[in-house]
Structure 1
């Protein structure tokens, strides 16, 4: 199909901002031009709770036919200001929380239902692990970046003190970025924010939604999570449960490794909060304060702020 001058075909790896209209509301969805329609539906699901299989995108077509999930967005002639009309119904048992809902996942009894060996999942390694360093695993959306708000420049949606935080952490930790989105989105977003080429720190590896696994809980049904065992299996001589910590705004993402997870406060409404958000400042102090510990397993990461306060008082007394 021929693309217009404004078509995303000219820059297939660039970020796209689409508007999706559903039940009278409009949602801003960010994807990459060479994501598939299936990935677009995953992003829409995060905002609307309508499962991809329940979504019908009325004016997203390949020729005269609706575009199926395997079609790349770069293959479609998407006109400026296109509003994608969606039909779909939320299922009662859906497991993706509404954007403004609190995350509550406690006392899980779960079993892995994905038979694929997680050690075989793909990891995009950028720099080799460093001997003697701890491991910090970071989410992107709402952890480092407000992916829902609109802006002309992505830096307007970057969490305050991001580069200072990563620079401080890099002194003691290798850093892996893991997002429940496509690898193209991860790469584009990190490049736009200046994370992949910053001279003050290096990112060890990138992981996307393909490295996640499905688990089943008696009370919460089936959902995807991030198994840190994948990383430990790839680099057993460097990383283990005792020297790894993960930051994510969704507690369910480290349900298989609860002792290693710290629930970060989500960064939303960037235009209102970027002048007052101090989360990464405090967390950088926490990371440096625990870096000398032999084992992180005894820590209660939910009490990280009190740990920082006690450590500060001890140093100044």
Structure 2
């Protein structure tokens, strides 16, 4: 019996985006095929995308984190850096390649090494508040405009309490911010003991001044809001 093929279509239609001068610029899409773990997959990628977007699509299909992906046969030689444009790879439709990598959750972690991770990792490449030329380029970049529109279309906001006029919005990430995720996912502590110290006192102190939004990048933690008595 043939293996069932998994498919990721990033966009079903060819988007048309206005450039800085107001001209219509169509985005060209390329269909690719790859194998991972002996199973065939396919995906569509835009020429205005970056290598990073390709890796993100591979992660979404296979749950293999970007830093563990080894892509073979897509280009000759070494794969270009993440910021390289897909158009510069000179790919043709139907191009086949292989992906090697361990999916998230199947890895073997050394707890002693995790303790050495820094508290804060600054992964910002450009300070757009200081570099206005770079800021302007990013604002008018075809790929960036399309990505924002795609994310807005997929965003699902669960508004529990109406926003209050005149209040700023405080956005808090649950993963490794207000919740210590490591003991929760390992099962070493119950959810109510994984909350940061004085979390509720902090929320009570800021609520008179801010509306509060809890950001969940991983839907796995949505049920933990109840255990933390945040719902």
Say yes or no: TM over 0.5.
no
Higher relative contact order, structure no. (Cα contacts within 8 Å, ≥ 6 residues apart): 1
TM (norm. structure 2) is 0.42
State the TM-score, normalized to the length of structure 1.
0.32
